[in-house]
Amino acid sequence: MKYYKAIAIIGPTSIGKTKVALQLAKNTGVGEMVNMDKLFLFKHFRLSSGLSDVFKERGVKKHLYELLEPNDKIIPVAEYIRMVQNTCSQILANRGLPIIEGGSTTYIPAFLAMNNKRDFCRPVVGLCFPQNFNIRNIISERLGIALEMGLLDEIKNNMRKRRNTLGMLEGHAAVPLVRYLDGIIGLNEAKEEIIDRCLKYVQGQMDAFIKYPGIIWLEHEPAKLTQTVQKILSLLKNNS
């Protein structure tokens, strides 16, 4: 099947956008991931940013991840949107399916505004948690997994080498864990602070995205990956 437009998977942190995008890429057989997350642009923050999920699947091509060193300045919004467009155009020219994924409140609003004028990407799928879903539990589970994988070691290493970089100063996991490692707060307090920061960001993301028309919103629970991917495959078929 030949694709003529990119697809985007957007939504709040911890909802499982990356896993949905990866599974969609595998199911289509030609899907390639394109980053739309600000912190995913930086090297050395895989666990604290959640980027480790992207690289668990080695059979899917990935674009625009880890382009920057920690001390580099963020890529300006207009420039980055052009980079995403150019990357997607190249993937389409090679008979692939660009799957834009992310939750950045820095880049996605500008991307959505552009797309509503040019219809470059269709469909734009927004994943949202079902009403009354326990988001705190999901964030807590993801945090526990990251800690088991070595999150504290990553933070310690970055404190020695990259303490005053954006990933350390803005990362939802990094900021409280730095305070813990500095002896200011306890580990449990740091964990609760991470969860609270993430919950606040989830609300901020939804407030930023919901105002844009043209997004197809799907309720998604991380445990129901297959069902959500099947719904998106149907949307792709209808838009082909």
User: What's this model's pTM, rounded to 2 decimal places?
Assistant: 0.94
* Strands ordered across the beta sheet of 97-102: 62-63, 31-35, 97-102, 6-10, 121-128, 215-219
In this predicted structure, what is the pLDDT of residue 84? Answer: 97
- How many CB atoms neighbour CB 209 within 10 A? 21
Rounded CA separation 19/206 (Å): 19
CB crowding 14-27: b at 16 or more within 10 Å, else e: bbbbbbbbbbbbee
The verdict on domain 6-133+202-239 having CATH code 3.30.70.100 is no
Burial label, 238 (beta-carbon count in 10 A; 0-12, 13-18, 19+)? exposed
- Measured CA to CA, the distance from residue 36 to residue 9 in angstroms comes to 9
Length of the chain equals: 240
Q: Write the CB contacts of 23 (distance below 8 Å, at least 6 apart in sequence).
A: 225, 226, 229
For residues 127 and 20, what is the distance between their CA atoms, to the nearest angstrom?
A: 10
Cα–Cα distances in angstroms (integers) from residue 12 to residues 97, 111, 119, 180, in the given order:
23, 16, 23, 26
pLDDT in the model for residue 240: 61
Q: What is the rounded distance in angstroms from the CA atom of residue 203 to the CA atom of residue 89?
A: 32
Place of tokens 């900021």: 175
Task: Supply the DSSP symbol for 121.
Answer: E
Question: Cis before residue 123, ω within 30 degrees of 0?
Answer: yes
Q: What are the per-10-residue average pLDDT scores of the chain (240 residues)?
A: 93 94 95 95 91 82 95 95 97 97 95 91 95 94 94 95 92 95 97 96 96 95 93 86
Residue 2 has a pLDDT of 85
How crowded is the C-beta side of 73, counted as CA atoms within 13 Å? 4
CA-nearest of 128, 95, 90 to 222 is 128
Distance between the two ends of the chain, CA-based, in angstroms? 9
Collapsing DSSP states into helix, strand and coil, what is residue 95?
coil
The pLDDT of residue 222 is: 86
Confidence (pLDDT) at 118: 86
The domain limits of the chain are: 6-133+202-239, 135-201
Q: What is the pLDDT of residue 50?
A: 84
- CATH classification for the domain delimited by 135-201, as one of 1.20.950, 1.10.287, 3.40.1350, 3.40.50: 1.10.287
> 100 Cβ partners below 8 Å, 6+ apart?
6, 7, 8, 9, 10, 34, 35, 36, 84, 88, 111, 121
Q: Are 32 and 128 contacting, i.e. CB atoms less than 8 angstroms apart?
A: no
- pLDDT value at position 159? 94
Maximal C-alpha separation, the chain = 56
